[in-house]
Amino acid sequence: MASDLKLAHVVLQTSRLAEMRDFYGRVLGAHVVFETDESCLMTFDEEHHRVAFTQPPFPLENKSPMAAGLHHSAYTFASIDGLLEHYSRLAAGGVVPDVCAQHGVTTSMYYLDPDGNFIELQVDNFPTPEASIEYMMGPEYTADAAGPTFDPERMIQARREGVDLAVVSTRAWALAGPPRPAVMEAFGAALADFASARS
């Protein structure tokens, strides 16, 4: 594979173009680069567009949680504190994550978009890709790739109290809190709630 190959953008087909545009604009801090009645191209960085939407001239069926397809697209922050600050801004506006997962390799928050696709906002817990891969090949990740869920408000409080980033970015810290659902259970519940609200 070419070493200079990079993911350029993701395009989602939707019948809710305006809702999707507004949601991705809010959650990713993205802005519109180009828009028509049939499409919308957005970016949040140096790329001319990172996410786009296409709306066909006929209504689409609602996405079923039982259908194969995209589960999530992921976007990374430089630090846990940056991720937590973004979480707080969104939460103040009523947008909260559906699942918060301590994968070990990343600390991640998942938000369901208006069509039922997850957006993962994450931070890498290791300084290099090589260190991340080494962890992923190790016993903790091999035994449970998903990891536990965590409470972002508890994490914010821990950081205010001076708990080190190296501590709050571990599964041990997430597991030391009050009992919470497992990651896959939380995903299932979020999708079931979404499907119920759309029916």
97 with 158, same domain: the answer is yes
Question: How many CA atoms lie within 13 Å of 26's alpha carbon, on the beta-carbon side?
Answer: 21
Tens digits of residue pLDDT in 50-98: 999 999 999 999 888 888 899 999 999 999 999 999 999 999 999 999 9
**Residue 65: inside a domain:** no
**Residue 137: inside a domain:** yes
**Residue 120: inside a domain:** yes
Per-residue pLDDT, averaged over 133-147, amounts to 96
Per-residue pLDDT, averaged over 131-150, amounts to 96
83 with 43, same domain: the answer is no
Residue 156's pLDDT band (cuts 50, 70, 90): very high
50 with 82, same domain: the answer is no
**Residue 179: inside a domain:** yes
Q: Percentage of the chain surpassing pLDDT 70?
A: 99
Give the residue from 57, 79, 96 where a domain finishes: 57
Q: Is the pLDDT of residue 3 over 90?
A: no
Number of domains the chain contains: 2
Q: Hey, is 13 helix, strand or coil?
A: strand
Q: How far apart are CA 175 and CA 148, in angstroms?
A: 7
Q: Token pair 């039982």 is at which residue? A: 66
Q: Percentage of the chain surpassing pLDDT 90?
A: 90
pLDDT at position 63 is 86
Q: How far apart are CA 74 and CA 76, in angstroms?
A: 7
132 with 47, same domain: the answer is no
**Residue 175: inside a domain:** yes
14 with 81, same domain: the answer is no
175 with 96, same domain: the answer is yes
Q: Is the pLDDT of residue 1 over 60?
A: no
Q: Is the pLDDT of residue 2 over 80?
A: no
Domain residue limits at 19: 7-57
44 with 97, same domain: the answer is no
- Burial (CB < 10 A; 0-12, 13-18, 19+), residue 128, is exposed
193 with 162, same domain: the answer is yes
